[in-house]
Every structure is written in C-alpha cells, then in structure tokens.
Amino acid sequence: MSLNHLKNLKNYQFSKPDIDMLQWWLQTRKRNTWNYLNPLQYSIDCNINIETAIGLFLTCTHHKDVKTFDVRSVAKCPNCDSVITVENGCIEITDFPSFCSECCLPIEETLMDNFTEIVFQLVVDPIPPVFTPNPPTGVNTIRAEALTSSKLVTNNSSSVKSIVDRMRKLNGK
C-alpha cells in the first residue's frame, strides 16, 4: 500500500502543500523511526504549524479513508523515566499502577498526562514513493520535544479539540 490515499486529506480541510509535505516527510523517514513518529518533529522539519501537524496525524489515525498511523500512549515514570504503562489506540491513559516497579515512586495519576508520550506508528509502507515532492527549503534538523497527552488534551485549536474529543470517547474516557 502506498501513500496515495493521503490525497483524501483534502476532504478534511488540509491544504495541498501541507499534504505533499507530509507525504515527503513520511517517505524520507528512516525505517527504525516508523514506530515512533512525532507530529512535533514533522512540524519543525517542514515548518508546519503545530496544530495543523497534530490535526494531520490524528486525522490519519482516526479516519479510514486516510488511515496511515496507529497511535500509542507510553507513560514514563516522572522520577526514573522507566516505562510504566503502554496503551495502544489511545491518546490518554487512565489506569496506572500505584507505584513505579523500578524506583518504587508512588504514581500520581493527575500528573501523568505530562509524562505520557504519544507516538504514531506507520501502518502503510511509504516505499516506493509514487510521487515525492521536492524537499522543503530550510529543512530543519532540530530535535522536537515529545508530544504528550497533556499537550493534546489541553490543545486550543478547535479542529484538534474535536478529533481529540472523538478519540477519547471511543476509548471510553
């Protein structure tokens, strides 16, 4: 399966340059990053605003006609950074163990949105490229921060909000 279906993103109010840029970005990722893609990195690399980048990734996760990603929440211990819990298909974890099994720190659920990293896994093979737009000028090599649950659930963009709400409902949150 190629990335041809990304052209359907125009049905979700995304511009052609943003869609082309996403296709280019996905086609140029190293294979060992395919399970850990971060929309904030796409935002920096392609100079796309953060809300649009997050909106694109969530839309490509949630809607079948543009399905490109699965999403995973990875909660890490605020104290020792060990992975505490992983949940697939959701953007917010609600069940946490009481203690970190590595360092025994008590886990405060209310703080955990800030320590839950959202990663996207590519579920289509981006290679061979059917059409690779030219790389954007001024492509960046700055490393993006992790996208956290907290950044998603407190996002002010109305389009991000609406898709985040839908995804939370689907997961019974």
Footprint on this chain of Zn ion (rule: CB under 5 A):
77, 79-80, 100, 102-103, 105
What distance in Å separates the CA atoms of residue 171 and residue 173, rounded to the nearest whole number?
6
User: Where are the alpha helices (H) located in the chain, listed in sequence order?
Assistant: 16-27, 39-46, 50-62, 149-153, 158-170
103 vs 130 by CB, closer to Zn ion: 103
Quote the least distance from Cβ 114 to Zn ion, whole Å.
15
What distance in Å separates the CA atoms of residue 8 and residue 25, rounded to the nearest whole number?
17
84 vs 163 by CB, closer to Zn ion: 84
6 vs 77 by CB, closer to Zn ion: 77
Quote the least distance from Cβ 64 to Zn ion, whole Å.
38
Please measure the distance between the N-terminal and C-terminal CA atoms of the chain and give it in whole angstroms. 32
102 vs 165 by CB, closer to Zn ion: 102
86-100 in b/e form (b: 16+ CB < 10 A) is ebeebbbbeebeeeb
Quote the least distance from Cβ 82 to Zn ion, whole Å.
5
Q: Residue 61 forms beta bridges with which residues?
A: none
49 vs 82 by CB, closer to Zn ion: 82
* Cβ pair 68, 61 in contact under 8 A: yes
Quote the least distance from Cβ 117 to Zn ion, whole Å.
15
Quote the least distance from Cβ 119 to Zn ion, whole Å.
20
Q: Is 38 left (phi over 0), alpha (psi -120 to 50) or beta?
A: beta
